[in-house]
Chain A
Amino acid sequence: KAGVTQTPRYLIKTRGQQVTLSCSPISGHRSVSWYQQTPGQGLQFLFEYFSETQRNKGNFPGRFSGRQFSNSRSEMNVSTLELGDSALYLCASSYWTGVETQYFGPGTRLLVL
């Protein structure tokens, strides 16, 4: 079974721009969670989507948003990029929501200049 895939793998943007990242979960998985990973803050939860509904949201500004499609694929969007948004953005999927093992993709490395 194919793992979680994320596109693009690398991205360079400038301040003020917006970016959309994509995540395709493992086949059959319905929950998709997004995390931001930085050297200073570690892995931080952004949000989770299950059956096209956002179930939980982390402590990030409204510039960070996401959505999930009927095929469980998910996208996250960051508007008005700031230098501090440079990070590795990780997507994880699980079959269900709640107490479930999450499997991570390789991440999208975003650099904001």
Chain B
Amino acid sequence: GENVGLHLPTLSVQEGDNSIINCAYSNSASDYFIWYKQESGKGPQFIIDIRSNMDKRQGQRVTVLLNKTVKHLSLQIAATQPGDSAVYFCAENGSGNTGKLIFGQGTTLQVKP
């Protein structure tokens, strides 16, 4: 079935520490993955994406890792800041070349000062 699941509903970290948010996906045909950040009262904000022909992609303070063997995706945030506090969603494009994204349930990241 269509399922993108997150391992932990809430992650609490100290300011300055690194954060790792995990995601498991079930559709082996998915070839495009995106991480979004959603703050209260706002729409999801694009963070970083990765295609299935890559294992790792780095952005500013963020890194996405893709392990196709175990169908696992992770988002690493370096030197976590209070402004990083939000709900993080992973999404996959599933099978078929359309604009349908399948979202995980989300992980709440809480950054303690």
Contacts and interface: CB of A to CB of B under 8 A. Distances in A.
A113 B96 CA distance: 37
Interface stretch (A13-21, A77-85, A98-106): A98-106
B61 interface: no
A43 B106 CA distance: 9
Interface string B102-113: 111110000000
Interface magnitude class on chain B: 20 to 34
Contacts of B71: none
Contact of A56 (B41, B46, B96): B96
Contacts of A45: 100-102
A58 interface: yes
Interface string B73-89: 00000000000000001
Contacts of B105: 42
A11 B111 CA distance: 33
A56 B49 contact: no
B98 interface: yes
Interface of B: 31-32, 34, 36, 41-46, 49, 51, 89, 91, 93, 96-106
Interface of A: 4, 31, 33, 35, 42-45, 48, 50, 55-56, 58, 90, 92, 94, 97-107
